Amino acid sequence: MEAGAAQSTPMAAVDAANLALERGQPNVVTLAGLLAPGGVVDADGRPDAAALREVLAPRIERVEVLHRVPVETGGEWRWRSAAPDLAHHIRVIDPSTSFESTCARVLMTPVDPDRPLWELLLVPRADGHRCGMLFRLHHAVADGLGAEALVAALSDDAQGADAVRAQSPEPPPAARRPLLRRWGDLAVQTAAVFRRSVRSDALLGPLGPTRDVAFLDVDLTRLHDGAHRLGGTVDDAFLAAFGQGMRAMLTAAGETPPAAIPVSSPVRLARRAGEGNATGVMLVPIPVAGSDADIEGSVARVAALTRSEKARARAVGTYRLMSNPRAARMLMHFALRQRAVGAIASELTGPPATLRLGGAELVAAWPLALLSGNVRVGALAVSYAGRFRVSIQTDASHLPPARVLADGMARALERIGASART
């Protein structure tokens, strides 16, 4: 990586911290989707990459974060302006046996650190006559919601990014608590991270070199209404259903599911100027043991936990061990051996209507989870165009297929949705 600070700007410490986490799986945010025939996608699902570059070039020109590379000078990370080569950044790749397997393969490929840290990959005939799309962005540039907003900004609808922001309004700064209360919140959060409460050898351990990915989706309105009837939100339903999927996964792995598994779930914070990342962390022990019939009670239990934990996470703000590169390196050293977090789960809110890129309708979209440290399971979801879409990612070397977890989770989400009609 070329050093030098000419025509450069400071990098926010929390963004620079993400450059220190580049171990094992690339620290890259990935949004996957399917483009229907039309515009730059022909009737057989084959993309015209040159035509898409021509369409997107003026839009990319207006997005500053797509025109810079990280440089380190004297231990300080900065952003240096650099023009993207669209022939590299927007390109066609060969499909694997399925779009899910293509995504699993791409997840383990880093972005080039000597170029702007993003790429838009096109996958011909990824799903029948639909073209696959993977927008990839290094976590130092933006978090999941930021990546989602960038895709919307590149879409044909000039209001796309506004639609994303309207669905996910910036949270207000957390109410300032008394100093002792804030120190208490930090102490509780730190103590939780250092507990050794996860005994599963399947869920935690060294990560292998390959990943497995599975997708699922359910009707958003039914899920919302069902979750509300059970005393929770869509996010609470997502976490409760994830617990049921984890039970199926652990059973298939030959382990007895515990009563609960602590799951790390990001909490959105008010974004400071110049920051690409603005997330806190809450640790939620989601119910796992039991049967499919327990899902209704699980939603209520998760809702009670998230109400208090979200407030605590927002009061604490950015986790101290992710506040700068040195602290992040310490966190990664600990994360390779930790036993406090059994899985990772996060949920985004997307636009209510489908987006278009180069005249092709983005008919389906999934954010892809990011595994890190010694955590082998992750789930990431988005509400998009009337559907609630979830991606499951697992360490393929050590766990049963991701489809096992996805199917168990889908059954739980359908059961929650069905409760809206009872």
The percentage of residues in the chain with a pLDDT greater than 90, rounded to a whole number, is: 68
- Check residue 120 and give its pLDDT: 98
pLDDT classification of 159: cutoffs 50, 70, 90: low
Mean pLDDT of 65-82: 92
pLDDT for residue 76 is more than 70:
yes
Phi, psi values for residue 155, rounded to 5°: -75, 165
| Length in residues, the chain | 422
- Check residue 255 and give its pLDDT: 97
pLDDT for residue 174 is more than 60:
no
- Check residue 194 and give its pLDDT: 61
65 contacts 141 by C-beta, under 8 angstroms: yes
- Of 317, 302, 307, 389, the closest CA to residue 347 belongs to 389
pLDDT classification of 191: cutoffs 50, 70, 90: low
- Strand 279-287 relative to strand 260-268: parallel, antiparallel, unpaired? antiparallel
Q: What span, in angstroms and rounded, lies between the C-alpha atoms of 381 and 263?
A: 15
Q: Please state the pTM of the whole predicted model.
A: 0.88
At 110, list the tokens.
């880093």
DSSP run (H or E) holding 137: strand 130-138
Determine which of 169-173, 197-201, 258-262, 383-387 has the lowest per-residue pLDDT on average.
169-173
Query: Please, is 219 exposed, middle or buried when counting C-beta atoms within 10 Å of its C-beta (0-12, 13-18, 19+)?
Result: middle
Mean pLDDT of 59-85: 93
The percentage of residues in the chain with a pLDDT greater than 70, rounded to a whole number, is: 82
233 contacts 303 by C-beta, under 8 angstroms: yes
pLDDT in tens, 13-46: 888 888 877 766 899 999 999 999 999 999 999 9
167 contacts 336 by C-beta, under 8 angstroms: no
Q: What span, in angstroms and rounded, lies between the C-alpha atoms of 129 and 135?
A: 20
- Residue 27 region, left (φ>0) first, then alpha (ψ -120 to 50), else beta? beta
- Report in angstroms the alpha-carbon separations of 361 from 33, 118, 155, 189, 382: 10, 22, 10, 43, 17
- Check residue 178 and give its pLDDT: 53
Mean pLDDT of 72-85: 91
CB atoms within 10 A of CB 324: 17
pLDDT for residue 380 is more than 70:
yes
Mean pLDDT of 214-230: 97
pLDDT in tens, 278-316: 677 889 999 998 766 689 899 999 999 998 888 777 766
